[in-house]
């Protein structure tokens, strides 16, 4: 054992729980995305709470929560303060968990802007509750995940949104040229607790863990100084919420499989692919009825539709027309991208070109790590050229005076006549950013040496 692990375990100071006689789950969550759904195993009769409070499991949970960082909950405790708290109160905490008497604190209401407008409500648990939720997740996820549908991609080990998009594309290529695009209205806020706990109880029988899961769901929300009860929903912001949401929607997956549909689901985004508009309308009506009556969920009719795949957005992508259907950036994706780049390259920011490129590069690398998956390289090339024009405009604005502009152009290799004409031009920064003089003074290679990534590189 490394010194680092020893240090982390010492911080916890939680006595090791007796080892369960249940066999170890080897290779949890390591099945490939194409693996067939494993049969759901009978209700678990293991003492799962003992597994939750095992020192190794709690240590791993604490490490994960610290890596995720995040803000404090209602008690103000930070991730840095948790080890000290556990060192002092660990034995008492473990006793409460094993006795089934632990009660989580209410979550803190936080609103964050949505990419497409509006806000998303998050419930931020205390850091201690996040550690405990993570510990429960680590025990349950391996068993539960392998019973989920291969058509489900969200919040699952070794699965990604890109895989979901690729599968959707394959359906389109195979001739399923209409999509039933379902949008669940405020899904995370509308999950029925009784139905959810009924599904949980089919998988585990440890009453202490069932009681703890129910307590996490009903802990309440602190907003504007008042604690409100939570009678439904799984507040976004806790480690357990994604797993519980997948459990709720597993019933939808099973129903779609039973009917033989081609579909892809990523969290609460579900697309069903059919061969005709008429079939799509029929599926939309029947699945909406199933979600409303069986799962007590509401379909947002304004945002749901039966349409050609190229007319809809799935996880930020759209598709060109078959038969050679290609992945492309959805219009809303490009709009949000340009808005963010405009913010980072604003001419009045008052930062150097080097700083601007550094900050812009962080965003571009993260964006490209996901959206570089598109199959329209000319779009990426156009975005690269547009970004360089934005940077040239910002630099031209920073040079301000005609004398400074002339001096900078000459220093960077622009001929006398061209430098004179350009420096004295009455045109604005955006038009001049495409001029021959600025192409010479601020070439593509210069931005590359400053660390600006190219979105179309390697294509």
Residue 24 has a pLDDT of 39
Give the list of residues 6+ apart from residue 110 with CB closer than 8 angstroms, or none. 71, 121, 122, 123, 124, 237
Quickly list DSSP for 103-166.
-PPPEEEEEEE-TTSSEEEEEE--HHHHHHHHHHHHHHHHHHHTTS-TTB-TT-TT--HHHHHH
DSSP 314: B
The CA distance from 391 to 342, in Å, is 10
Looking at residue 459, what is its pLDDT? 55
Which of residues 321 and 24 earns the better pLDDT score?
321
Question: Which of the listed ranges 348-352, 420-424, 454-458 does the model predict with the highest average pLDDT?
Answer: 420-424
Mean pLDDT of all residues in 272-301: 95
% of the chain with per-residue pLDDT over 70: 87
Residue 4, pLDDT above cutoff 70: no
What confidence score (pLDDT) does residue 224 get? 66
Residue 156 has pLDDT above 80, yes or no: yes
Q: Are 291 and 299 in contact (CB under 8 A)?
A: yes
**Over residues 127-132, mean pLDDT:** 95
Contact 73, 110 (CB under 8 A): no
| pLDDT, position 47 | 85
pLDDT at 41: 45
Residue 385 has a CB neighbour count (10 Å cut-off) of 13
Instruction: Return the sign of the alpha-carbon dihedral for residues 303, 304, 310, 313.
Output: positive
């Amino acid at each position: 054992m490394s010194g680092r692990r020893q240090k982390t375990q010492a911080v916890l100071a939680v006595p090791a729980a007796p080892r369960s006689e249940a066999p170890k789950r080897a290779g949890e969550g390591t099945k490939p995305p194409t693996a067939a759904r494993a049969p759901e195993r009978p209700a678990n009769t293991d003492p799962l709470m003992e597994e939750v409070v095992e020192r190794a499991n709690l240590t791993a949970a604490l490490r994960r929560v610290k890596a995720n960082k995040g803000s404090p909950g209602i008690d103000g405790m930070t991730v840095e303060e948790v080890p000290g708290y556990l060192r002092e109160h660990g034995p008492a905490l473990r006793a409460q968990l094993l006795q089934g008497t632990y009660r989580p604190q209410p979550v803190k209401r936080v609103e964050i802007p949505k990419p497409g407008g509006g806000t998303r409500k998050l419930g931020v648990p205390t850091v201690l509750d996040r550690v405990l939720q993570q510990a429960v997740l680590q025990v349950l996820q391996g068993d539960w995940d392998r019973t989920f549908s291969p058509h489900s991609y969200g919040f699952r080990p070794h699965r990604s949104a890109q895989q979901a998009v690729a599968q959707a594309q394959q359906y389109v290529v195979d001739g399923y040229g209409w999509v039933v695009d379902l949008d669940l209205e405020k899904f995370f806020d509308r999950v029925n607790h009784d139905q959810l706990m009924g599904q949980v109880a089919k998988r585990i029988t440890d009453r202490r863990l069932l009681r703890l899961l129910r307590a996490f769901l009903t802990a309440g929300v602190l907003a504007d100084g008042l604690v409100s009860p939570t009678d439904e929903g799984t507040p976004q912001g806790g480690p357990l919420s994604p797993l519980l949401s997948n459990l709720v929607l597993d019933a939808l997956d099973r129903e779609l499989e039973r009917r033989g549909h081609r579909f892809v689901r990523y969290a609460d985004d579900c697309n069903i692919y059919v061969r005709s508009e008429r079939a799509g309308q029929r599926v939309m009506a029947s699945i909406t009825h199933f979600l409303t009556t069986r799962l007590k969920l509401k379909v947002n009719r304004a945002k749901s539709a039966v349409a050609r795949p190229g007319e809809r957005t799935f996880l930020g992508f759209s598709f060109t027309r078959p038969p050679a259907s290609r992945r492309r950036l959805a219009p809303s994706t490009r709009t949000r991208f340009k808005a963010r780049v405009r913010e980072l390259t604003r001419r009045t920011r008052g930062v150097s070109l080097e700083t601007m490129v550094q900050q812009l590069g962080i965003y571009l690398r993260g964006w490209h790590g996901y959206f570089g998956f598109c199959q329209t390289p000319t779009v990426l090339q156009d975005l690269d050229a547009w970004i360089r024009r934005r940077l040239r405009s910002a630099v031209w604005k920073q040079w301000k005076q005609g004398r400074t502009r002339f001096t900078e152009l000459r220093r960077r290799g622009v001929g006398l006549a061209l430098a004179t004409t350009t420096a004295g031009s009455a045109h604005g920064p955006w038009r001049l950013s495409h001029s021959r003089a600025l192409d010479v003074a601020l070439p593509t290679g210069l931005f590359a040496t400053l660390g600006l990534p190219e979105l179309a590189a390697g294509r």
